[in-house]
Amino acid sequence: MAGFKDHFSGHAALYADSRPSYPPALARALAELAPSTALALECGCGSGQLSTVLGDVFDRVEATDASAEQVGQAKPHPHVTYRVAPAEKSGLPDGSCDLVVAAQAAHWFDLPAYWVEVARVLKPGGLTALVGYAPPRVNPALDVLMDAFYHEGIGRFWPPERLIVDNAYKGVDFPFREVEAPRHDLTADWNRHRYLGYVASWSAVKLAEKQGLNPLPAFADAVAADWHDAEEVRPIRWPVLMRIGYSD
């Protein structure tokens, strides 16, 4: 698709297996803030990490992604319909959606065109949300390692759009009546293998590998110095970054 910036189709299965799921409390909060729970549209749904929890609280969820490979890995849910479509052209009728959300995806969109589409499909008083999450937090020692790896170790390999997430979407135009977003965290209980598998799915790591570099072994060794037992399960937290607003 023209203009589609695809950083994940080549490792869609790894992405689906490695990414954390969104908390049901986040989906419930969005449902409570929306004018009704008839229809939610998730753009850039990936393999359905948010789509399925939205399906638990909305009567119907249309989940779209421009990557057929990502959609092919999506988790089925009786209330969720997955389709291959760009975020900027959902194919839904005018004024049909109670909620339009993009989770960890809007930084890849043509945002001016996306906002036109959001305004078109939202009901009057409908809710839109940009959702992302910060790097994972485990403990102070590992968090220092993570931040150094994220910013210095692979920083030059992040696509420039990634800065939009790092800035909590604050630097982008948001042409809706903005209200304060509720605070949430993603959480998971992972062993060291799962934690490193998640890092391996990052677009910056994949770009480094394409250029003949392998940044993971040194990071994995540093992590192992703190996380001695690879099978030990530890709680992990990702602070959610979110902006929400209403159509008028």
What is the average per-residue pLDDT within 160-188? 94
Q: Residue 123 CA to chain centroid, in angstroms? A: 24
> H/E element holding 113?
helix 111-121
- Specify the pLDDT at position 68: 94
Tell me the C-alpha to C-alpha distance, in Å, between residue 160 and each of 10, 190, 193, 243: 20, 29, 28, 20
State the pLDDT confidence band at 29, using cuts at 50, 70 and 90.
very high
Secondary structure class of 193 (helix, strand, coil):
helix
15 versus 103: which is more confidently predicted? 103
Tell me the C-alpha to C-alpha distance, in Å, between residue 136 and each of 3, 66, 208, 223, 238: 30, 26, 20, 13, 5
Query: Using CA atoms, how far apart are residues 114 and 72, in angstroms rounded to an integer?
Result: 23
- Specify the pLDDT at position 248: 86
What is the average per-residue pLDDT within 239-248? 96
125: left (phi over 0), alpha (psi -120 to 50) or beta: left
- Specify the pLDDT at position 17: 63
What is the average per-residue pLDDT within 184-203? 95
Contact 44, 132 (CB under 8 A): no
Given a cut of 50, is residue 169 above it in pLDDT? Answer: yes
Given a cut of 80, is residue 35 above it in pLDDT? Answer: yes
Contact 153, 204 (CB under 8 A): no
- Specify the pLDDT at position 7: 43
pLDDT in tens, 64-80: 999 999 999 999 999 99
Report for 53-62, 155-164, 193-202: range of highest mean pLDDT: 53-62
What is the average per-residue pLDDT within 42-56? 97
Kindly give, in sequence order, each residue whose CB lies less than 8 Å from that of residue 106, ignoring residues fewer than 6 positions away.
Answer: 43, 44, 87, 114, 130, 132, 164, 169, 172
What do you get for the CA distance between the two ends of the chain, in Å? 31
State the pLDDT confidence band at 171, using cuts at 50, 70 and 90.
confident
* Average pLDDT taken over every residue of the chain: 93
- What's the CATH code, domain 9-246? 3.40.50.150
